[in-house]
Amino acid sequence: MEKLQSIEQYDQLKNGERTIFMFSADWCPDCTVIEPILPRLEADYPEYTFVEVDRDKFIDLCGELDIFGIPSFIAFHNGEEAGRFVSKNRKTLEEIEDFINGLAE
């Protein structure tokens, strides 16, 4: 999964056709648990660009987006927020798939 490098890159990716940002941190045990399933998600949903956002590196962005728990996901379609799966709880593959499948076209 691509890692976010700058706010400018975030703005560019957010305005892309379909992007899902995953907010995480190296120290987060629940983020580590889902790490092995991320390549499968990318393979199963090729219409999306998946981008990992380091919560500690982009703390101001997380504040702007109301990301107060990780791992969390926010999807954008052409610059508009299409959905969010934001909480401090551990996420299962099924829950993440349900979130992606429920995104508005």
Kindly give the pairing relationship between strand 49-54 and strand 2-3. Answer: parallel
Spot the catalytic one: 20, 22, 31, 41.
31
Where b means 16+ CB within 10 Å and e means fewer, 76-97 reads bbeeeebbbbbbeeebeeeebe
Task: Find the helix or strand (DSSP H, E) in which 9 lies.
Answer: helix 7-14
* Residue 25 · residue 35 · CB < 8 Å: no
Q: Would residue 62 show up in a list of annotated catalytic residues for this protein?
A: no
Spot the catalytic one: 28, 41, 67, 96.
28
Amino acid found at 64: E
Residues labelled as active-site residues: 28, 31
